[in-house]
Chain A
Amino acid sequence: MKVSVEITRRPEIADPEGTNIMRALTDLGHQNIESVRVDRIIHLDVAGDDPDHVKLRVEEMCRQLLANPVLEDFRVEVGE
């Protein structure tokens, strides 16, 4: 099953990459940008036919390795 994991940095944690991209966009004349955040999407292909079970397994992977609990939140979406 195709699974996508969205790893997002918590709002209270600075995102220097987003801040610098916002600065560059502003320099290019794009006004009124409120904020830019750069996040990460990880695509997995996991064997299994029970979407709920696959989701639980991938959430465990997130807690263990894919996301850093100090900085990040995660969202797991199971597709076809």
Chain B
Amino acid sequence: MRTAVVVFPGTNCEHDVVHALRSLGGEADLVWHRETDLSDFDGVILPGGFAHGDYLRTGAIARFSPVMAEVGRMAVSAAPVLGICNGFQVLCEAGMLPGALIANRDLAFICRFVEVEVTDTATILTRSAELGQRIRIPLNSYEGNWVDPGAEARVALRYLDNPNGSQGSAAAVANVDGNVVGVMPHPERASDELLGSADGIVLLESFLESLVPA
């Protein structure tokens, strides 16, 4: 079972994600954004960073990278598709997740640990967690304020203190089927006690356990 970790120009969390998945026994490889065939992979992660410089809007240009057609195909085929931070923004721009991400309410770049609560366990990010479980993971974003005028999204994780003004305090949002998820804080940066928290492991394990052979 293999996970593709996509690298756009400007992505900067890809090695952290690969390291965290491998340390949990997963198989993960970096894939350049110009790749047009992900048929050897069973799941995909769009990691954090500043894809294509975040020009125009975060994720707006990345959604047209060649690899995104394959990401869309995997999303439709029920494979796990996870966007972390900037990856969340890309999935919203691509229309694979509802809503959009705008600047934080107080216009501050927020870089600190936050506490989130599991509000839906039928997603590829939360299936191994308990409903109501509290998780301490770091947030590291300026455009983390999720808005959805449709307001019918599935919220998988909710902030306890809503630091960025997200609608419904959403920290992670899923599509209807729960196989496409965007999460604003970084589970891979809380995957070892050395990093200050290992709370993110349950989220990455959920992802790995959601993989089924392609």
- CA A17 to CA B28, docked complex, whole Å: 39
Also in contact, A70 and B100, with CB within 8 A (given A13-B149, A14-B165, A16-B145) = yes
In the assembled complex, the CB of B17 is this many whole angstroms from the nearest CB of chain A, namely 26
Query: Is the Cβ of A71 less than 8 Å from the Cβ of B106?
Result: no
Size of interface on B: residues with Cβ below 8 Å to A: 20
B46: shortest Cβ distance to chain A, in Å? 18
Whether A14 pairs with B102 at a CB distance below 8 angstroms is yes
- Decide if B120 is an interface residue (CB 8 Å cutoff): no
Interface flag for B107 (CB, 8 Å): yes
Nearest chain B CB to A43's CB is how many angstroms away? 14
Nearest to A13 among chain B residues (CB) is B147
Q: How far, in whole Å, are A1 and B116 apart by their CA atoms in the complex?
A: 51
Query: Do A13 and B102 form a contact, CB below 8 Å, given A65-B64, A68-B93?
Result: yes
- Give per-residue flags for A41-65: 1 if the beta carbon is below 8 A from chain B beta carbons, else 0: 0000000000000000000000001
Measured between C-beta atoms, what is the minimum distance from A15 to chain B in Å?
8
A76 interface hit (Cβ, 8 Å): no
- 10 A-B pairs (CB sep. < 8 Å): A10-B149, A13-B147, A14-B105, A15-B102, A16-B107, A16-B165, A65-B60, A68-B100, A70-B99, A70-B100
